């Protein structure tokens, strides 16, 4: 099957990424390492990339910046139990020399990491409060193998169109309340079964106990 032409009917769609604490890393593997087939087993490599970056520049990536000592953070992020966030988005964008547009469903906000630094392409990441998925350009009738996952920054008009389509996807998800309000959500620690309310309690519990395996639930 021949790849579809860029003019074929299609648009920006959400590609759901496995939810196993490494979704951010999986999204980068999908976008920049060859599609969904590259997801299995690739997260440890990208976690190691992040660890090497912070260890390589401890003055910039200090305890004040990372929230913990640099060496401790480097070990922490290489554990498959820990989630990625803004730091990892920025570092992996730099690693791949791409801009990263991170859309937040709840607020509708988009932060573009690496913008203005001369990077040739942009990838689109979607965040629902707990989980990262990928936004791609898909074509009518085409399988995922033909997804366009990165977009040239030199073509401003085309990039603006893609960003507008992505914003429509985000707006639809927000209207459907397809996000987790991390200030108010309820979760249960799957290690000790303690109920917790909000991200702050979850973080405090993890720091106090070392437990990092949580599941969201709705209280009665």
Per residue in 80-123, pLDDT tens? Answer: 888 899 999 999 999 999 999 999 999 999 999 999 999 999 99
- Judge whether residue 53 has pLDDT over 80: yes
Active-site amino acid positions? 20, 23, 131, 211
Per residue in 151-187, pLDDT tens? Answer: 999 999 999 999 999 999 999 999 998 876 656 667 6
- What residue ranges in the chain does DSSP mark as E strands? 10-15, 99-104, 110-113, 121-127, 132-139, 151-152, 186-189, 195-197, 214-216
Judge if pTM exceeds 0.85.
no
pLDDT band with cut points at 50, 70 and 90 for residue 38: confident
Q: Which domains does the chain carry?
A: 10-175 (3.90.70.80), 186-216 (no CATH)
């Amino acid at each position: 099957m021949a790849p579809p032409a860029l003019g074929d009917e299609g648009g920006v769609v959400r590609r759901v990424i496995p939810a196993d604490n490494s979704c951010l890393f999986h999204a980068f593997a999908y976008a920049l390492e060859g599609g969904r087939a590259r997801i299995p087993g690739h997260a440890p490599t990208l976690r190691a990339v992040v660890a090497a970056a912070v260890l390589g520049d401890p003055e910039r990536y200090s305890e004040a910046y990372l929230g913990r000592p640099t060496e401790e953070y480097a070990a922490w992020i290489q554990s498959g139990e820990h989630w990625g966030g803004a730091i990892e988005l920025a570092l992996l964008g730099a690693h791949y020399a791409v801009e990263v547009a991170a859309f937040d469903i709840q607020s509708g906000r988009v932060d573009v990491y690496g913008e203005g630094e001369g990077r040739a392409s942009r990838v689109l990441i979607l965040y629902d409060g707990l989980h990262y998925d990928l936004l791609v350009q898909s074509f009518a009738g085409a399988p995922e193998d033909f997804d366009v996952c990165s977009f040239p920054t030199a073509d401003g008009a085309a990039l603006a169109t893609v960003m507008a389509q992505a914003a429509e996807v985000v707006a639809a998800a927000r209207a459907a309340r397809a996000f987790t309000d991390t200030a108010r959500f309820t979760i249960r620690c799957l290690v000790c079964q303690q109920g917790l309310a909000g991200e702050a309690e979850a973080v405090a519990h993890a720091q106090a106990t070392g437990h990092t395996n949580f599941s969201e639930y709705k209280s009665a």
